[in-house]
Amino acid sequence: AGAVIVGRTNVPAFSTRYFTDNALHGRTLNPWAPDRTPGGSSGGAAAAVAAGIGAIGHGNDRAGSVRYPAYACGVYGLRPSVGLVPEYNPSTREERGISSQIMQVQGPLARTMGDVRLGLDALALRDPRDPWWVPAPAAGAPVKGPIAVAMLSSLPDTAIDPAVAEAVQRAGSMLDNAGYR
């Protein structure tokens, strides 16, 4: 897809932890707060993207391994639907187990949604060796007319923190400026 591979990032042993630490490469630090985890199992990719080492990182997700590191490091992460990204791996001698085939996916991490989209477009390219791959358009048909959005700034008998109310108002203004009604 024309990308320049910068390097590899760290993962926990067997990619099965919610923190990124292993005996071979040690602990991965969260670039925003070294005393906090960058998440796992794709914590190395999320930390590298957050630190500006690369624009797009690659992670795999079975139980939050793209989503949690994205949250922990303040970047965007996307867990695509099963079948959108081909999973064929020529380095294995046998087919992946059925649980991996129906649960695990590969996904991008990035600092902007535009880069997430770019990463997903590259990851989702067809590979005829993967029978589970499903062609799916990245975008649907354009929506006609303005899109209506409902916004609640208060709820009966519920206290709302002023910072939350202000954030909701800002989000509403942004949607209004983008053409939503």
41 is known as an active-site residue:
yes
Handedness of CA 166, 167, 173, 176 (dihedral sign): negative
Which of 65, 81, 99, 153 is an active site residue?
65
Task: Output the six-digit token pair for 144.
Answer: 């006609």
42 is known as an active-site residue:
no
Which of 41, 100, 154, 173 is an active site residue?
41
The residues carrying an active-site annotation are: 41, 65
